[in-house]
Homo-oligomer: A and B are copies of this chain.
């Protein structure tokens, strides 16, 4: 069986695992006060070009989103997000559980439009009853989005400008950030993200760590009491250095960037294989998630040997499926996929 279900099916990248092994017996203080964690934070600040940023390490994506958003919002505020945003769909109400409404914007292949963001905010303040409504207190976007798409630099800049104008922090969910930075024809760098976002996180779980997300706070006025909030959200890892050690591995020797590039290249190769065989590409994704529209009989023939996800419910004749590559995906697996398709 070859697996293209998701990018979090295996453990850690060998270089990450090696460091965990090497440091396993060392004794350090807990909760992220150790030197590994401090060093990892320095490496990240360097990579971001933000020497004054603050960096915190949490365990998972939903946890990170819930903690950051809870910290950024005042009690009467909600968070703007695309209807398809992860926080709005697949986090089991974690944002609302901390007391805040998600204010939805239309999604366009997973992205929001700056124009619709602006319109939402302006309509809100033009409404005489706005004090009876939930105020837009921040913006959440994901990069890449839940549909594998990415914003161009210009799009991000325009969004960021609107956020600045209305003094609404911009928070970027970077669960798959490495794949967004390595996007085919992409124009956004890590330094761009750090310059445009007020807060963002660099996802580790889907890019080679066992677990772990690095929150980068570039706007010094925000999240001033983030540590107790991490604890309050049950998001403080006792053996905090495990996060530091893993992110050290990712941010030394360009490993994070390298994984991003390799994994995206493999996904593009898969898309081209399907395309060359005449299958319909369901959404034009430049990152490590590819959406293909396959006839149901093809799906049935693939399933015994190839593992992948149906994207939405089965259609009558054809169904959209998702192929995801990860750091474990090998060229050999992709060739095997191509051969299987050849034989159908």
Contacts and interface: CB of A to CB of B under 8 A. Distances in A.
B27 A210 contact: no
Given A93-B76, A229-B76, A239 B134 contact: no
Contacts of A238: 8, 60-61, 205-206, 211
A344 interface: no
A302 B106 CA distance: 38
Chain multiplicity (copies) = 4
A100 to B, nearest CB: 6
B24 A8 contact: no
Nearest to A9: B27
Contact of A225 (B74, B129, B227): B74
A171 to B, nearest CB: 16
A10 B21 CA distance: 11
Given A11-B20, A90-B129, A90-B132, A234 B70 contact: no
A290 to B, nearest CB: 18
Nearest to A74: B225
Interface string A21-53: 101111111100000000000000000000000
Contacts of A62: 231, 234, 236
Interface string A96-108: 1111111000000
Interface string A53-89: 0000001111111110011001110100000000001
Interface in A164-197: none
A6 B205 CA distance: 28
A225 B132 contact: no
Interface in A217-257: 225, 227-229, 231-239, 242
A129 B29 CA distance: 13
Contacts of A20: 11, 17, 210
A313 interface: yes
B237 A133 contact: no
B25 A97 contact: no
What are the 7 closest A-B residue pairs judged by CB atoms, nearest first?
A: A63-B234, A11-B24, A92-B231, A76-B228, A9-B27, A92-B232, A93-B134
26 contacts: A8-B30, A17-B24, A59-B59, A60-B236, A63-B235, A64-B234, A76-B225, A76-B229, A76-B232, A91-B132, A92-B131, A92-B133, A96-B100, A96-B101, A96-B134, A97-B98, A97-B99, A99-B99, A126-B313, A131-B231, A132-B231, A132-B236, A206-B238, A210-B242, A211-B238, A234-B234
Interface of A: 3, 5-6, 8-12, 17, 20-21, 23-30, 59-67, 70-71, 74-76, 78, 89-94, 96-102, 123, 126, 129, 131-135, 205-206, 210-211, 225, 227-229, 231-239, 242, 307, 313, 328
